[in-house]
Structure 1
Amino acid sequence: MYNIGIIGCGKIAQLRHLPEYAARGDVRIAGVYDRNQERGEAVAKNYGAKSYHTYEELLANPEIVAVSVCTANNSHAEISMKALQAGKHVLCEKPMALTREECREMVRAAERNGRHLLVGHNQRFLKTHQEARRLLQEGAVGKLISFETHFTHAGPETWSIDAGKNVWFFDKDKAVFGAMADLGVHKTDLIRYLTGQEIVLSHAFLETLDKKGGDGTPIAVDDYAVCYYRLEQGAAGTMTVGWSNYGREDNSTILYGQEGVMKLYCDEKYSLIIEKKDGTRVSHEIDRIQTNAGQSKSGVIDEFIECISEDRESIISGREALASMEAVFSAIENADTMGLAGKRRELR
């Protein structure tokens, strides 16, 4: 039986981490911590756990062997490294951390302390993505030429535990990044996973187009981003992410090869479609994409516990997450910031 601690009891913890741990027969949720003490106590009561007044007190419990870090972005690195130093295995929510050095230090801390560090890149566990990776490797659409991937929805203020225009995702001090890191890190990691290739060139366009805070002024982080990525074997493509899609959530990917096109989650019924250049079409009904409104089992919690049990490297290890974050950091550093935090550059 593995005793688990939950640090941060917001929406992602309540929708995924807590129920998925509770569904396993070999896990006990032993302790929780949340800055909102009342929320933490309510969660603890619901799961038969202890509510701690500080996360340091939770980490000091020697019976807790692993923790989920589900806090705001600006505390991921600090809490994760303290947990690793305390001898805990760590599952950290994305984005991994705020700087390259923080990400690298998290990986080093895991290695120094002989503990597993995983980051919640759940898109690698979707069956359609796993089948697409296999088919790409088999050459189902020939050599990859280009790609486009999307992740857009109505924004975190519509589903966060403290929903509304003052949500922490819009607070630059707590979130630091906007849609580019919130959603873009998922699709950056997915492109690396699907293709088995590293991203060698990146550039982004970041904007604040629509979102406003509680005071009516534009938020200080990006709510829309378009990124150009080039892969190590020459293929190139775009990633579009945003928080201002007020229709159906879009989490689609299209891969263009020399022999055809592969479409993922572009069709309501068929999650994987291959269109060959000879006109043939093969449609696969595999699964449905996870959405904020339609949650399904992530696979992340099972992977975390199994990695601990089997003492093996994970496909969502800290080192894998670091490689994806490197591409995100490069894209942001090379970004054109139009209309972001008061900056605007226009053609004359």
Structure 2
Amino acid sequence: MTKLRVAIIGCGAITYYRYAPEYASHPEVEIAAFCDVIGDRADGYVQQYGGRAFTDYRAMLEEIKPDLVTVCTPNVFHAEMTIAAANAGAHVLVEKPMATNAEEAEAMIAAARRNGVQLMVGQSQRLMPPHLKAKELLSSGRLGSVLTFRCSAGHKGPETWSVDGRDSWFFRKNEAAMGAAGDLGIHKADLIRWLLDDEVAEVSAYISNLDKAGSDVDDNLVASLRMNSGALGTLVASWTYYQGEDNTSIFWCEHGTLKIGFEPDFPVIVQLKDGTVEKYGVGGIATNDNQLRSGVVDSFVDGIRKGNAPFISGEEGLRSLKVILAAFVSALTGKAVTP
């Protein structure tokens, strides 16, 4: 079987921890190129993983003609790079948030459809083993309908994650467009939608920069959500959890409670109304402090090989993005907003 040739655009932390090692270890993929505006970074990856180094992604697309492209650059470049890659005939895996506004996301989806290529969004939380188990449990009907929920995602901030530390693009609005809301909040918005198999009907939110001095993006989001089903819940995203990371969710249902991420050895716990407790040791949730194989690359490649629709399609990425965009409008207007 001929290997799929992948080009990775953007050589920051997500490439270091996820995309380079996961593509390099995939038996059906060959890394053909790394591209970064800082040439030394691309050169460093080429020395370790092979391929060719580029500073211009358009030249890379023309010369390499990759089968796959992964876009993990500052958010404002996601749309133009995804569209260019799709127009070059490549399947695209783009990091979240897929775009900075709905119009960009729609153009990305249209480009993929027009060129007959797949577009997948790196909403990796759907692929974490505890979340897959939680989806199975909720879908089984044993717990009944979800009534209320609380979901939280937080860490110390990009200065502890990005290769550029406190000088990272994450803190600049002209490159990131949004801060913790787009970095972490969108993960939870996507997870809630997927786990509940439901859409957000209304968002009320507060979004602020509370502690990241010198930055013009948000470092905290607190949102209340009402789902189409009537379920009510909260979504919290923070870059100021200085005492440690948090990636937890709890769902109160008709027949019991589902907890995710509270106990390391048993990341999924079910507590039924009759007092029964079930604990599932099903693997971990990848975090900045605990890097695990994400499953994103495996899912992307598998979908292309089998001709299946992407597990997290562009359309799904857009729906989750709209929840976060609605939160910004709500925070600005003080009103509840429909995504």
The TM-score normalised by the length of structure 1 is 0.93
8 Å Cα contact 1:207-1:337 kept in structure 2? no
Which amino acid is the alignment partner of residue 267 of structure 2?
A: S
Cα drift, residue 34 of structure 1: 0.5
Against the structure 1 CA distance between its residues 128 and 47, is the aligned structure 2 distance closer, same or farther, given a 3 Å change threshold?
Answer: same
The count of aligned residue pairs is: 332
Q: Give structure 2 stretches of 5+ with no counterpart.
A: 335-339
8 Å Cα contact 1:202-1:331 kept in structure 2? yes
Query: Match of 1:276?
Result: 272
Query: Match of 1:207?
Result: 208
8 Å Cα contact 1:206-1:337 kept in structure 2? no
What is the distance in 1 between the residues matched to 2:294 and 2:145? 30
Residue among 222, 230, 235 paired with 2:231: 235
**Structure 2 residue 133 is matched with structure 1 residue 131:** yes
Cα drift, residue 28 of structure 1: 0.8
Cα drift, residue 278 of structure 1: 2.3
Query: Match of 1:183?
Result: 184
**Once superposed, what is the RMSD of the aligned Cα atoms?**
1.3
Which amino acid is the alignment partner of residue 290 of structure 2?
A: G
Residue deviations 1:177-233, cap 9 Å, x none?
A: 0101110010100001111111111121101111123xxxxx211101101111111
Cα drift, residue 148 of structure 1: 0.5
What is the distance in 2 between the residues matched to 1:22 and 1:282? 38
8 Å Cα contact 1:33-1:55 kept in structure 2? yes
Q: Secondary structure at the match of 1:28?
A: strand
8 Å Cα contact 2:33-2:64 kept in structure 1? no
Q: Secondary structure at the match of 1:61?
A: helix
Which amino acid is the alignment partner of residue 37 of structure 1?
A: G
The TM-score normalised by the length of structure 2 is 0.95
Query: Match of 1:42?
Result: 44
Cα drift, residue 73 of structure 1: 0.6
Q: Secondary structure at the match of 2:26?
A: coil
8 Å Cα contact 1:205-1:227 kept in structure 2? yes
What is the distance in 1 between the residues matched to 2:253 and 2:172? 41
Q: Give structure 1 stretches of 5+ with no counterpart.
A: 214-218, 339-348
Cα drift, residue 280 of structure 1: 2.1
8 Å Cα contact 2:5-2:67 kept in structure 1? yes
What is the distance in 2 between the residues matched to 1:150 and 1:209? 17
What is the distance in 2 between the residues matched to 1:132 and 1:52? 41
8 Å Cα contact 2:69-2:91 kept in structure 1? yes
Which amino acid is the alignment partner of residue 132 of structure 2?
A: Q
Residue among 321, 330, 335 paired with 1:334: 330
Query: Match of 2:97?
Result: 95
Residue among 162, 165, 177 paired with 2:164: 162
8 Å Cα contact 1:275-1:282 kept in structure 2? yes
Stretches (4+) displaced over 4 A: none
**Structure 2 residue 304 is matched with structure 1 residue 303:** no
Cα drift, residue 62 of structure 1: 5.3
Residue deviations 1:286-321, cap 9 Å, x none?
A: 112211021111111011111111111022111111
Residue deviations 1:238-296, cap 9 Å, x none?
A: 00110010122110000011211110011232111111222221111111221102111
Query: Match of 1:342?
Result: none
Cα drift, residue 44 of structure 1: 1.2
Residue among 93, 112, 115 paired with 1:113: 115
Query: Match of 2:216?
Result: 220
What is the distance in 1 between the residues matched to 2:159 and 2:142? 40
Q: Which segment drifts farther, 43-52 or 177-186?
A: 43-52
**Structure 2 residue 320 is matched with structure 1 residue 324:** yes
Which amino acid is the alignment partner of residue 271 of structure 2?
A: E
Which amino acid is the alignment partner of residue 182 of structure 2?
A: A
Which amino acid is the alignment partner of residue 157 of structure 1?
A: E
**Structure 2 residue 63 is matched with structure 1 residue 61:** yes
